[in-house]
Amino acid sequence: MSTAAVSRAQVPERGWRNDIVAALFWLLTVVGVLMMTGAWFLLAIASLEEATEQPKALAAGGTMAGTTLLLGVAPLVFAHIAGFALLCLVATTGRFDRFRGGLWAGGVVVGASLIGLAVVLVLSGGQLLYTPPDYVP
């Protein structure tokens, strides 16, 4: 059988269905890097807030326990889930191979998160979670 006899249906398509979807995917990727960086900053800021406001809260009969979880970890988890869902939607509908679209979406979210984490670590002097200076483990 010659290559001319192979029908178009037997040759799997690869890549993006059109350039507009590909451009949208990569635009969302760039926006995702900025959003992940912001989400990692929220974690660092929430940790700082919890540690520095705890003495005032104790004096007033309250506590700041859970502030990092509520204002830092929850937005970070939400950013990862929302970013993956949005990129998965674009990638799986915009690519010929849906499985590879999902892999691309997952890889981009992991990459964007690592870039955001690296930026925050550089700007915070390598300390993601604040530890009070008088803390002795």
Q: What is the pLDDT of residue 25?
A: 94
Sign of CA dihedral 99, 38, 116, 24: positive
Q: What is the pLDDT of residue 135?
A: 60
Q: What is the pLDDT of residue 57?
A: 78
Q: What is the pLDDT of residue 13?
A: 74
* Contact status, residue 83 vs residue 74, Cβ threshold 8 Å: no
Containing structural domain, residue 73: 18-123
- HSE (CB half, 13 Å, CA atoms) of 82? 13
Q: What is the pLDDT of residue 4?
A: 54
Which residue stretches of the chain have pLDDT < 70? 1-12, 135-137
Closest CA to 112 of 31, 41, 3, 56: 31
Task: Specify if 72 maps to a domain.
Answer: yes
Task: Specify if 36 maps to a domain.
Answer: yes
* Biggest alpha carbon–alpha carbon distance for the chain: 85
Q: Give the whole-angstrom CA distance, residue 84 versus residue 78.
A: 10
Task: Specify if 45 maps to a domain.
Answer: yes
Burial of 28 per CB tally in 10 Å (0-12, 13-18, 19+): buried
Q: What is the pLDDT of residue 82?
A: 97
Task: Specify if 2 maps to a domain.
Answer: no
Number of separate domains in the chain: 1
Q: Give the whole-angstrom CA distance, residue 3 versus residue 28.
A: 39
Within 10 A of 112 (CB to CB), how many other CB atoms are there? Answer: 25
Q: What is the pLDDT of residue 2?
A: 53
Closest CA to 73 of 53, 52, 50: 50
* Contact status, residue 125 vs residue 45, Cβ threshold 8 Å: no
